[in-house]
Amino acid sequence: MSLLPQEIIRHKRDGQTLSAEEIQHFVRGLVDQSWSDAQAAAMAMACFLRGLAQDEKVALTRAMMHSGEVLSWAQSALPGPILDKHSTGGVGDKVSLPLAPILAACGAFVPMISGRGLGHTGGTLDKFDSIPGYQTAPSLDTLRQALRTAGCAIIGQTAELAPADRRLYAIRDVTACVESIPLITASILSKKLAAGLQGLVMDVKTGNGAFAADLGMAQELARSLVEVAEGAGLPTRAWITDMNQVLGRSCGNALEMHEALALLKNEAAEPRLLEVTRTLSAELLCIGGLADDLADGLLQVDRVLANGSALEHFARMIAALGGPHDFVEKPDHYLAAAPVRKVLRAEQSGWISEMATRDIGLLLIEMGGGRRQVTDRIDHRVGLSDLHAIGTRVEAGEALAVIHAADEASAELAAKRLQQLIRLSPSLVSAQAVLLQRLGGER
């Protein structure tokens, strides 16, 4: 069997099942650069078009997991379970920001290995990059210290953890290979398994703003994630959640950080965002043995939000990873604001009936809030705020959203585009459920 990159690519291109040895050769090539960007991109596209069998998915996940260091927390003697959550990505999805400190305040430890924006979706790390000094790529010693200090650390893939995925992730983003269930499965789980977790909850998005646009694809992805993770010995549950509209009231990195802080301060959170955050947090408390059932978990979540301990853990995390010690007290001082704010007003009265959510994510990229290429720099200031949920009644002339832009021309362009992306109906439209289906585990 030839292990030349072009032969392995040809095998997958022609629909053959790759051996574990071929997959390991590909993953090693990602790390040691013996596979060029062109070859890695061709391989990603072949996997996208031809798919991977279950054994191939497991082999790819394990090879990527072992492409770097695999963490063990036994020596750290942490007095609680090692838990994490991951989302398949959406527009305005900021759940990870409050969830990690909520879990920490309840007694869990959360080494959350997150990613940057992928395709039209925002990235958790890009949101934290809006905080001056915050290290999204700390050393493993700093990660361990942050966990001891704050109980949670939201970081990116360090040089030691799953380096093969870091390179493949960036290539997928710019080569239209994002929406691949096998590649998504291997990408997510290789990082999570390398982080030494004892429990995981997956938030699998579905709808017009998700990679899994239809429910069937979301169910397939959720099953793939649960089956591969459980097969690797990691207790995992999945929730399928709605992404037919922006999650929360904002999208854009600094704006989403403000909204997450408001939730942690127990201020009036957008109901859908709060429901997803509470439910996924409670689910993880059950997996980790910190809650008797989901109802008990929800009570614990509400308690740590009400008494301020979740906010305190968030503040500790920011400081432990290099950010300002007074960030939660003075976010306006540290989060840069866009120089231009423009209110988009409804041209007619009605009920918000539909959002072209994916196009809103793409609009954010055009405004500078995301990447067209791997090397692009993000403008963390730009985005949208004060968005209304589907089912909300608005009057003609009332604000539909506030546009935060780098300049007047960008604001005008965004206003023209956004007016077409939020649709109104003359008749009453019911609010959409955000929690759709639970997979894995027993109630």
In order of start, what are the domains of the chain with their CATH numbers?
A: 5-51 (1.20.970.10), 74-332 (3.40.1030.10), 337-425 (3.90.1170.30)
pLDDT of residue 157: 73
- For residues 338-353, give the mean pLDDT: 97
**pLDDT above 70: residue 275:** yes
pLDDT average, residue stretch 36-42: 97
Q: What is the tens place of the pLDDT at every residue in 41-51? A: 999 999 999 99
Q: For residue 443, is pLDDT > 60?
A: no
274/441: higher pLDDT: 274
Instruction: Tell me the per-residue pLDDT of 278-290, one tens digit each, with 9 for 90 and over.
Output: 999 999 999 999 9
Give the residue numbers annotated as catalytic, written as ranges. 84-87, 124, 172, 187, 191-192
Q: Which residues are registered as beta bridge partners of 341?
A: 404
**Crossing angle for the helix pair 309-320 and 140-150, to the nearest 10 degrees:** 160
Percent of the chain with pLDDT over 90: 79
The Cα-based distances of 167 to 43, 124, 135, 185 in angstroms read: 13, 17, 19, 16
Torsion of CA 52, 53, 54, 59, to 10 degrees: -60
Question: What is the average per-residue pLDDT within 237-265?
Answer: 97
* Dihedral sign from CA coordinates of 218, 224, 229, 233: positive
Output the pLDDT for position 148: 94
Q: Which residues partner with 215 through β-bridges?
A: none
117 versus 280: which is more confidently predicted?
280
Q: Tens digits of per-residue pLDDT, 392-442?
A: 999 999 999 999 999 999 999 999 999 999 999 999 998 889 999 999 875
236-242 and 199-206 strand pairing: parallel
* Higher pLDDT among residues 113 and 428, named by residue: 428
Distance CA 265, CA 269 (A): 9
Longest CA–CA span in the chain (Å) reads: 68
The distance of Cα 437 from the centroid of its chain, to the nearest Å, equals 19
User: Which candidate, 170, 108, 104, 114, places its Cα nearest to that of 137?
Assistant: 114
Which residues lie closer than 8 Å to 42 by C-beta, 6 or more apart?
A: 9, 13
- What pLDDT score was predicted for residue 426? 95
Residue 374: pLDDT over 80: no
Q: For the residues 9-27, what does the mean pLDDT come to?
A: 97
Q: What is the pLDDT of residue 158?
A: 72
The top-scoring range by mean pLDDT among 86-95, 118-127, 172-181, 252-261 is 252-261
Of 84-88, 109-113, 228-232, 280-284, the range with the lowest mean pLDDT is 228-232
SS (HEC) of the chain: CCCCHHHHHHHHHCCCCCCHHHHHHHHHHHHHCCCCHHHHHHHHHHHHHHCCCHHHHHHHHHHHHCCCCCCCCHHHCCCCCEEEEEECCCCCCCCHHHHHHHHHHCCCEEEEECCCCECCECCHHHHHCCCCCCCCCCCHHHHHHHHHHHCEEEECCCCCCCHHHHHHHHHHHCCCCCCCHHHHHHHHHHHHHHCCCCEEEEEEEECCCCCECCHHHHHHHHHHHHHHHHHCCCCEEEEEEECCCCCCCCECHHHHHHHHHHHHCCCCCCHHHHHHHHHHHHHHHHHCCCCCCHHHHHHHHHHHHHCCHHHHHHHHHHHHCCCCCCCCCCHHHHCCCCCEEEEEECCCCEEEEEECHHHHHHHHHHHHHCCCCCCCCCCCCCEEECCCCCCCEECCCCEEEEEEECCHHHHHHHHHHHHHHEEEECCCCCCCCCEEEEECCCC
383 strand-pairing partners: 404
Cα 163 from Cα 388, distance rounded (Å):
40
* Token couple for 277: 């955050």
In whole angstroms, give the CA distance from residue 392 to residue 71. Answer: 46
Question: Is 119's pLDDT higher than 70?
Answer: no
Answer whether 383's CB lies under 8 Å from 250's CB.
yes
At residue 329's C-alpha, the angle toward residues 122 and 378, to 5°, is 25
pLDDT tens digits, residue range 354-371?
999 999 999 999 998 877
Split at pLDDT 50, 70, 90, the class of 212 is: confident
What CA–CA distance (Å, rounded) separates 103 from 252? Answer: 25
Instruction: Find all residues with CB under 8 Å of 62, minimum gap 6, and list them.
Output: 190, 193, 232
